[in-house]
Structure 1
């Protein structure tokens, strides 16, 4: 793509604008040759502008001459292969910034001399005009011959403060309106030297019929009351080109909630699809009227706008939750989508290449005559000029390459934006709505469920009919009801052909749909991603608990979109880093930090649940993962909470969290609470009070109900002295308590305790104390008696009131096996210290068999029994049962092994 011989002449021959500019004065050729050796910087702009002004030119005249020089230089550098597309768009964008800044400064000085200084009515602070660059200017991706889309606003109403008698006070609105008009004229009026930029103000609130400038209050009210969907997309790229830092922060807080939703906004796909259809319809209309304009590289099929929409749709969907996706540049956004595996890396690479090709072609169309055109020329001579600029000797190869790029872009665009409904689906929806709206012929609806494969079609039809005619569904908009119909039609067929428990799955699905029906974004997600809907049906068929979990946390639907991420084993280091990064990003917003903790925990838990339901992990590995996840959440919460303690006396707390119970034994389930105690090792005077605040606030953060639910229930009853004890203990007092005051049951609990999070040195001290306590020599008879008494108390507290066997509480169940392990550890760890290791009940049972403390064969059977009971309990809990009970014959072998071990250990 290069022209090597006498290229300056060739560039001038190809670009009529460059040719005319060079012919303007003889010295321009030498000037261009010198300047085009290096790329422009803002310092270069300032230096050249000042030189023009020093020679007697006005600011307006000098700026227009500079603009022509900049454009000529970019044409020369680009066509000579010295500049790439990035340099071209960045240079012209930075020049636009420079133009606005120079004229705004000069005009504001003139205005202040006449009318005084604008100040805020409430704050009394000096006000300034904030110029927002929109569109490609906002993203530093401006075209060389583009107009610039601007919006003017200011922070506060008020009036100007006059310091001289000749000055006349104006309201801030009038002042900035006049300033804005002057700025537009200075930049865009055509003179003998041309113009600096054409200015388009149509994106401002209420468009060309609205006021030229808007106060922050006016802007915020407009967004809340009148802001339209397409304006959200425009404001994605809004970039402040002027203004004071504190005002810009306030403005950002106004813009962000209008543009970005806190939830995943999959409704953006449908909205952008509709907007794109309108644009395409207008392009087709123009092409029909003017066939010579039928090749539009910007708005045509597979053109620049479709690449921009591909990037922008994911910004709007996810930008509310992921700040990294709020970048204003199309190229940067595509790169981020690749990094986050939202789009395939190879596809993004090709999209980037196609985007560069299309933008280079667009520039060359504009190089011809410095015209804002995006259409391939109709004249053969001009077509050849464009082909030569692009490095092709003839037109046909260029058009072939263009077609390849446009076809690729169009294919990727269709993948995201094409309406997913096919003719068969639409026919099914039409039949379904006819059935639901027919009050006389119920058989019609039943027959559809029968055709879909339902065994009890009558009950399934009855439930759907009741659901459809409920007040909540009938109150929805027509668009939402139409989406619901489509989803019911698809889900009915998926459930009928794939579900093992059809009616249960169907009932769960309808409960889920009722919960999300008012959130059109969720309906859009399931509509746009049929595979996600199929996964929802599979999960609801497999588990009532999973169905309820997803119903409570529909944000998790997003997790269903990336199959590879859903199936991948957790990368705990990466998860921890992302969690820390997100909490740090919201360090001044406690509410958002609480939501972040819950959302990230639920998302990872949901991935583990998906793998669990697909049979990819064992119960033991799942418990390890859930425990690791809880550890990380505890650690992150402790760190975040410490930063909120205003009286904290050191940068990092000398404070540790110790886990007992299921978390301590790494046997955590999906809905398990956390048994925790808090220890510190700090001699500072403020330490006890600060760590008490830390512990209390930590519990609040964990247990508070937010829109995303709670994180964990926390149980602190196992702390020294129980409910009457201090919330936080020093490591020294904990050691004394365990040695002198703790009850035996507290030592039993200690067998399943471990350092969870916080100061690692305190964790090491805890491990040493734990080991010492567990390895104490104990009277065997006394130990046996106390363990039996404690087990009797627990059994009396959970009497059996069912003919079914309670896997946890009944004799021979899981608690019996856990008590026997604890007894073996406390009885023999003084002789075999390795028994103090917190390696889990199964491993400890096997180790006791190897040591000859119990018959090895019985140890193996008991370990297998515990594993089987845990797995069975987990399966039942997934079905939403609070108590895990089964017919005795289903677990008779496991219970027999457990009872034999009990008899071996505790028979007199």
Structure 2
């Protein structure tokens, strides 16, 4: 048969094709009728690309005809197809020799098919690697099953006691590591395996029993022999067992307990990388999954772990030394800009953040890379560049390995080899291929350097300064020399600065600090001192930041976070210099240091819609039944966004009103999520409350916010004034198996909400909740129906409770019930009230509050202080005056209660002509000024008390207007 004409073939490839075509003579003759022009073109391509494939077609003359007849060269396999085909082939096994033969012949057939599809691009890289992994899974699992039965017949069946004290048959678990574990096996890869079994015990059913470990070691040896032995028919897979605990020095199989103990006590950083890709590929898959769950905390730390970068650099340097020693610069996997560097980029962020974000707990690199821009701030353009480069290199790796079925990633050095590789990769010549290869490798190298490279080089001046700080820390300087360095650096209180540093050095924590933590502190502290010395209040800033340093010394990965992110260190110094509150938050919750890394998010807090979407996404990744994890996720979410708002506030990015907006939106989305979590939990346990016979409620429940929450004026430390209202028949019950009365259901729902919000956990408290504004206060029901709420407001409520209603609004729950609440609120606020009685009640309540909560006459005289909120001329005077106007005039001007915040209510009062424009403007300006001062004091961790000499104009204006309106 005449060989097909392939365009643009070099003379060397034409000669090679002629040789291959001649070798295939008998095969071609026997399949002539099936060799259409397109099939011949494909056969010519794979003949140029793979000596191995040609060898197999010659060795098994019927193979090509069989593959063409079945049509499997033109379609992918389904996951179960390898299992079913292998099971059919293994029916003929009747001896160890026949097993070896069947396995190898099956592997050669499937490899021919896979290489054919890969080199002709009928399958893309992802399809090829996935199918190779499925092939390996099937062959390992089916071979293991056959050998297990044989071993049980020979040495007895292994048993052990389970957790309940019952005998349970034991099966081996085979973990696939590396590319097999990630479903990314290449054309001629070895397979990295770990053998283990659930529990120690011994075999039963034979006279001479074995310990379970001995049994599974022997079973593992037989499995390796069946797969790895090279005979005349080849091999199945090369097996590498060096990734098991203690490597080659340890038994071939170990129990789950031994595995867990090893990784907890002795697991090394490179083993964390390896375990990212671990997958149960054969054997007892249910127990295998339980084992991986046990080992997950070893791989994915709960905290942000930037020490991964240190380990990666060490591993990469070790690889580089090996590359130089063995001359592997032309290796597409290990060389600069190779496959391994792409894997390192993904794995670094998996280890750093995977414990906090389960989306990173995936094995497949192609699933991880697209997540990195959103989750770690990697530039958007990096992902397509890395993906394109990775696919190109993996295809090149396959083309290299397809030639002779050898596990190599070395680029060919000879002319023919280079011409073959360029042709298989779709290039006319080696020069064109090499140019594209270099472009991709350069892109990988750049992104790898951006991610993994050491921190920025220091200037000579910075290096000198930091050397001096290190000498001070190491007690190499006299006190005079130390004070001189501190003075020259620019610290404002030299002696206090030295004392802060020496006190830290003398602390018990430092004395008992492990070497790793001590070395990490020496890296970070000089840089911090250098940065702190540049701010105006350097000594106070140092005192604040050292509180944080003390809190993280035993979790020194946070020090690595700072060392790896100089930008985050600068933000830390800047913000702690401006705010004692900010520093205190970080000291209490160091995990929030992660928020300082990316200025784009730090100084750009999301709006309410974005907040809600982000929180929903985070909670979706947590099992509904895991209440503890849900509560921690909510607390971290709140703390992180609180920090972002504070950073924007401190630096002036957000004005006061926007700060309160963001803090209020944050509370609202959290309340919506908490209500959803609590509702689902209650419904799952008790069923849905019935609205009427046969008609279940559709979350007929609302959370009403009062005070600062209701008025959209939350500050950093604000508690939440809440009222819970439902709309169902209290005489009916829920429709679940554990049915309870509707009234009990909603009471427990309210209790559940308060529990989630109020409870102190490792992440702190979500919000402090105040329920005293509900009908009848603390003596009233926790949750009331809307009807009961209206009756109370109409018949029993005090004037101050109607005042509170002015600043109330629905913040979560049923939209329908929320609209009905607004109607009730309107009815109450529009009641016609006797003006003098109303004024008298408001003034009396205000005077009572001043007496109990304001500055006493003695304090005012001795300390000359003013309470921004409670004293005469303070914030509450404005609030009470506004509330009085609404209650007095809303029956005539319903627009007065449209909004719940004081500024817009004042606008409405002015528009209605109920207050002179100048007075309204004075009150608005004073209110904003007071709140801004309150925010500043909070950020400095101070109470809302100022000198009586401050803001006198505001106080005088408010006092004058209060007197003219409320005391006339």
Query: Which bin holds the TM-score, normalised by the shorter protein?
Result: over 0.9
1:512 aligns with 2:568: no
Q: Secondary structure at the match of 1:905?
A: helix
Q: Distance in 2 between matches of 1:49 and 1:900?
A: 93
Q: Does 1:74 align with 2:114?
A: yes
Aligned counterpart, 1:648: 686
Aligned counterpart in structure 2 of residue 259 of structure 1, from 295, 299, 303:
299
Q: Is residue 522 of structure 2 the alignment partner of residue 476 of structure 1?
A: no
Mean alpha-carbon deviation: is it higher for 817-826 or for 542-551?
542-551
Q: Shift of the alpha carbon at 1:835?
A: 1.3
Q: Secondary structure at the match of 2:194?
A: strand
Q: Does 1:173 align with 2:213?
A: yes
Name the CA shift for 1:53/1:694 in 2 (closer, same or farther; >3 Å).
closer
1:743 equivalent to 2:783? Answer no
Q: Could you tell me which of 264, 276, 294 is aligned with 1:224?
A: 264
CA distance in 2, matches of 1:116, 1:152: 19
Asked if residue 891 in structure 1 is aligned to residue 951 in structure 2, the reply is yes
Most deviating of 116-125 and 690-699 = 116-125
Change beyond 3 A, Cα 1:120–1:688: farther
Structure 1 match to 2:433: 398
1:244 Cα offset (Å): 4.9
Deviation at 1:670, TM superposition (A): 0.8
Between 1:302-311 and 1:80-89, the stretch displaced more is 80-89
CA distance in 2 between counterparts of 1:629 and 1:177 reads 56
Is 1:140 paired with 2:183?
A: yes
Mark the CA change 1:541 to 1:50 in structure 2 (over 3 Å): closer, same or farther.
closer
Question: Does 1:565 pair with 2:565?
Answer: no
Q: Deviations over 1:709-740 (max 9, x none)?
A: 11111111112212222222222221111111
- The aligned residue for residue 489 of structure 1 is 526
* CA shift for structure 1 position 746: 1.0
> Quick check: 1:189 aligned with 2:220?
no
- TM-score scaled to structure 2, two decimals? 0.88
SS of equivalent residue, structure 1 residue 36: helix
2:923 to 862, 865, 876: 862
Give the Å deviation of 1:876: 1.9
**Bigger mean CA deviation after superposition, 247-256 or 98-107:** 247-256
Alignment size in residue pairs: 898
Supply the distance in 1 between the matched residues of 2:170 and 2:591 (Cα, whole angstroms): 41
Higher mean alpha-carbon deviation, 40-49 vs 792-801, is at 40-49
1:376-397 C-alpha deviation (Å, 9 max, x unpaired): 2333332332233223333333
Report whether the alignment pairs 1:329 with 2:369.
Answer: no
Deviation at residue 160 of structure 1 after TM alignment: 4.2
Given candidates 305, 309, 330, the residue that maps to 2:340 is 305
1:699 to 2:754 alignment: yes
- Judged with a 3 Å threshold, the aligned counterparts in structure 2 of structure 1 residues 390 and 451 are, in CA distance, closer, same or farther, namely farther
Q: What runs of 5+ residues in structure 1 fail to find an aligned partner?
A: 288-292
In the superposition, the TM-score normalised over structure 1's length comes to: 0.94
Supply the distance in 2 between the matched residues of 1:171 and 1:766 (Cα, whole angstroms).
Answer: 71
Secondary structure of 1:340 counterpart? helix
8 Å Cα contact 2:471/2:477 also seen in 1: no
Does structure 2 retain, via aligned residues, the 8 Å contact 1:145–1:371? yes
Q: What displacement does 1:202 show?
A: 1.1
Cα distance in structure 1, aligned partners of 2:131 and 2:280: 18
Among 766, 777, 783, which residue is 1:728 paired with? 783
Q: What does 1:257-406 correspond to in 2, within 5 Å?
A: 257-287=297-327, 293-340=328-375, 342-406=377-441
Q: Cα–Cα, structure 1 residues 53 and 637, in superposed 2: closer, same or farther, change >3 Å?
A: closer
Deviations 1:296-349 (A, max 9, x none): 211122211111010001001111111110110111111121353632221111
| Cα 1:323/1:726, change in 2 over 3 Å | same
Is structure 2 residue 638 aligned with structure 1 residue 601?
A: yes
Cα distance, 1:540 vs structure 2: 0.6
- State how far apart, in whole Å, the 2-side matches of 1:286 and 1:10 are: 33
Any idea what SS the aligned residue of 1:825 has?
helix
In structure 2, the CA distance between the partners of 1:375 and 1:575, relative to structure 1 (3 Å rule), is same
Deviates more, 1:113-122 or 1:747-756: 113-122
2:855 to 783, 795, 799: 799
Map of 2:138 onto structure 1: 98
1:431 and 2:492 correspond: no
| Aligned counterpart, 2:581 | 545
Note if 1:904 corresponds to 2:940.
no
1:2 and 1:81 in contact (8 A); partners too: no
Contact persistence 2:45–2:120 (CA under 8 A): no
Task: Please say if residues 115 and 187 of structure 2, whose CA atoms lie closer than 8 Å, have aligned partners that are also in contact.
Answer: no
Matched, 1:783 2:831: no
Change (3 A) 1:857 1:616: same
Q: Deviations for 1:495-536, whole angstroms, at most 9, x for unmatched residues?
A: 233x23222222211222121222121111111111111111
Change (3 A) 1:229 1:896: same
Which sits farther off after the overlay, 513-522 or 323-332? 513-522
Separation (CA, whole Å) in 2 of partners of 1:207 and 1:325 = 27
1:239: Cα distance to partner? 0.6
3-state SS of the aligned residue for 1:90? helix
**Aligned match for 2:559, one of 523, 531, 555:** 523
User: SS at the partner of 1:370?
Assistant: coil
Question: Which has the higher mean CA deviation after the structures are superposed, 336-345 or 357-366?
Answer: 336-345
Deviates further, 748-757 or 456-465: 456-465
Shift of 1:810: 1.6
Whole-Å separation in 2 of the counterparts to 1:758 and 1:612 = 30
CA shift, 1:55, in A, is 7.5
Aligned match of 1:664: 710
Q: C-alpha root-mean-square deviation of aligned residues, in Å?
A: 2.4
- The equivalent residue for 2:569 is 533
Q: SS in structure 2 opposite 1:472?
A: helix
Contact kept in structure 1, 2:492 and 2:536, CA below 8 Å: no
Tell me whether 801-810 or 520-529 shows the greater mean CA deviation.
801-810
Once residues 256 and 656 of structure 1 are traced to their aligned partners in structure 2, the CA distance between those partners, rounded to angstroms, is 39
Measure the CA separation in 1 of the matches of 2:8 and 2:653.
55
- Find the counterpart in structure 1 of residue 870 from structure 2: 809
Deviation, 1:7, is: 4.6
Give ranges in structure 2 of 5+ residues lacking alignment: 1-6, 10-37, 690-697, 734-740
Cα distance in 1 between the residues matched to 2:743 and 2:84: 63
Aligned residue for 1:290?
A: none
> Distance between the aligned counterparts of 2:662 and 2:898, measured in 1?
19
The answer to whether the Cα contact below 8 Å between 2:710 and 2:900 also exists between their aligned partners in 1 is: no
Contact 2:302 2:356 (8 Å CA) reproduced? yes
Pick from 34, 41, 57 the counterpart of residue 22 of structure 1. Answer: 57
Distance, in Å, in 2 between the alignment partners of 1:863 and 1:784 is: 22
SS at match of 1:375: coil
